[in-house]
Amino acid sequence: MQYNVAKLLEGPIGMSSSYNIEEIYTEASRFTDQVTGSVHMVRTHQGVLVYAVLDIQTTLTCGRCLGEFVWPSTLDIEEEFFPMVDLHTGCQSPPITDDEVDQRIDTDHVLDLTEILRQYAIADMPMKPLCTANCVGLCRVCGSNLNQGECNCSDTEVDPRRGALADLLKSQKG
């Protein structure tokens, strides 16, 4: 998700350009599966202001049943990016602070949205993802996914410790 913004940086303050995004990620290190939406960039006094409204789809693992499910969400991004090199003078721009490190436009005038998008996507994800609000999770005895139907132990509610005690009593009696 990289954009060459040399033209924008050469232009006057207020100059803008827009892009459509439609990307599907398949690599193992992906933070989301799919991104679609639009990006709007405006030349500011110091750099480029990026507005983006992006629909993302991310595969998450349910905290109760451990099943995978698709989490759709919309990210509303607004971030200013700063060039490392002044396009007019060729001089190095003043050093930027640590929290602006992901909003750098590199020396080839490439603005990379990937890291910002990753941060917004992670901040948007639920702390405890659930496949559905009423997910019933896994059976504590046999581990079956109870969303897919009841297991054999679910109606008897066997506590494994009590089961062992019952066996012990039985063997003493026997």
Write down the least CB distance from residue 88 to Zn ion, Å.
56
Which residues are bridge partners to 42 per DSSP? 16, 49
Instruction: Identify which of residues 110 and 142 has a Cβ nearer to Zn ion in the complex.
Output: 142
Spell out the residues 6+ positions from residue 65 whose beta carbon is closer than 8 angstroms to its own. 131, 135, 136, 137, 138, 145, 146, 147
Q: Is 141 in the site for Zn ion (CB under 5 A)?
A: yes
**How far is Cα 129 from Cα 126, in angstroms, rounded to an integer?**
5
Instruction: Identify which of residues 96 and 141 has a Cβ nearer to Zn ion in the complex.
Output: 141
- The whole-angstrom distance between residue 125's C-alpha and the CA centroid of its chain comes to 6
The torsion angles phi and psi of 68, rounded to 5 degrees, stand at -85, 145
Q: Pick from 77, 85, 153, 158 the residue near Zn ion by CB under 5 A.
A: 153
58-77: contacts with Zn ion (CB under 5 A): 62, 64-65
Instruction: Identify which of residues 8 and 65 has a Cβ nearer to Zn ion in the complex.
Output: 65
Residues near Zn ion (CB under 5 A) are: 62, 64-65, 131, 135, 139, 141-142, 151, 153
